[in-house]
Amino acid sequence: MDKVVAWSRATFKTFAAEVGTVPGVSMVRMVELLRERPPRPWWHEAVESWETVDAPLLPAGYAAGFATSVPLVESGQYLNYLHQKLTDIGVAQQIGFLKSFSELDADVVVNCTGLGARRLCSDDAMYPIRGVVVRTERVPLYESYADDSDISRLTYVIPRTADCILGGFAQRDDNATIVRDGEADDIRRRCAALVPELANARPLEVKVGLRPGRETVRLAWDSEDPRLIHNYGHGGSGFTVCWGCADEVASMVGECLPDR
Ligand SMILES: Cc1cc2nc3c(=O)[nH]c(=O)nc-3n(C[C@H](O)[C@H](O)[C@H](O)COP(=O)(O)OP(=O)(O)OC[C@H]3O[C@@H](n4cnc5c(N)ncnc54)[C@H](O)[C@@H]3O)c2cc1C
């Protein structure tokens, strides 16, 4: 099986088992909207089941929809939970900027520096993929929607516990971390075309982020430093594959530190 599909499946399983017990994790019905109808969604192998949504139930202009139930991870809540878990089991934490791995005195180093790996590992294969989202007040929706047909202007609506996330953009090689004029209105207009209830939703904030892009994830031992495992370059799918990648890294660490 393709590695990304295997990582996605493992991650799906972990998040699904956390629903109801871990803050920020729930399941949501996600509908992918398409202008043309392929035989099946490209992501069909990564989910347990999916169904076709017929055109009369879709927003105007769409020929097909595929629906599935997926884990929804509210990143702030989930990262706080993970951070607390590490603190509770006594993992020491030190914050600092690393110029070289030689600064670290450790038996094993796992490099999860995302876009920072471009400089830290001189990895020219890394590139930013700029994203923008609008966070609005909560609108009671029971489905998430995504239209990925325009690859640099992805449109998506994600209803969360206390708010809604409206997206977005995916602009390759764009490093700008400011919000440009017109971007928030463009996102809101596109999302309201999918879900009219969003037209009057009160905006709370607009955020920009840079996805750590790479043609393939680099999850491998370093070819020169025998202590170093790389795990970066997850692009716009870092949450989708995180636990699958983490399991693989954990077994690599386990092989080289069998007695611990
Ligand atoms: C708008 C937007 C929407 C997204 N939506 C989704 C989605 O729906 N589903 C999904 O799966 N993913 C999504 N993603 C992608 C996901 O957020 C990323 O893939 C994920 O955050 C990557 O995680 P990471 O830990 O590898 O890198 P990062 O989160 O970038 O973390 C890297 C860390 O390394 C640190 N660092 C870098 N260099 C150094 C250095 N030299 N020394 C010390 N520290 C360093 C950085 O400060 C940072 O803290 C989205 C991203 C954006 C921007």
Residue 42 reports pLDDT greater than 70: yes
Name the more confident of 44 and 145: 145
Measured CA to CA, the distance from residue 256 to residue 228 in angstroms comes to: 11
Tokens representing 259? 């007695």
Q: Is 66 in the pocket of ligand 1 (CB under 6 A)?
A: no
Q: Is 236 in the pocket of ligand 1 (CB under 6 A)?
A: yes
> Domain extents for the chain?
1-93, 100-120+216-256, 127-213
pLDDT at 150: 92
pTM confidence score: 0.95
Tokens representing 79? 């990262």
Mean pLDDT, residues 237-246: 97
Tell me which CATH code domain 127-213 carries: 3.30.9.10
Mean pLDDT, residues 115-143: 97
Q: Is 97 in the pocket of ligand 1 (CB under 6 A)?
A: yes
Determine which residue's CA is closest to atom 4 belonging to ligand 1. Answer: 236
Residue 1 reports pLDDT greater than 60: no
Smallest Cα–Cα separation from 9: which of 78, 53, 68, 82?
68
CA of 212 from ligand 1 middle (Å) equals: 6
Tokens representing 168? 């977005």
Using only the alpha carbons of the chain, give its radius of gyration. Answer: 20
Residue 94 reports pLDDT greater than 80: yes
CA angle, 200 as apex, 199 and 203 as ends, to 5°? 100
Mutate to test the pocket of ligand 1, among 211, 217, 242 (most ligand atoms within 8 A of CB): 211
Mean pLDDT, residues 73-77: 97
pLDDT digits (tens, 9 = 90+) for 225-238: 999 999 999 999 99
Q: Is 28 in the pocket of ligand 1 (CB under 6 A)?
A: no
Find out whether 169 and 130 touch, Cβ atoms under 8 Å: yes
pLDDT at 37: 82
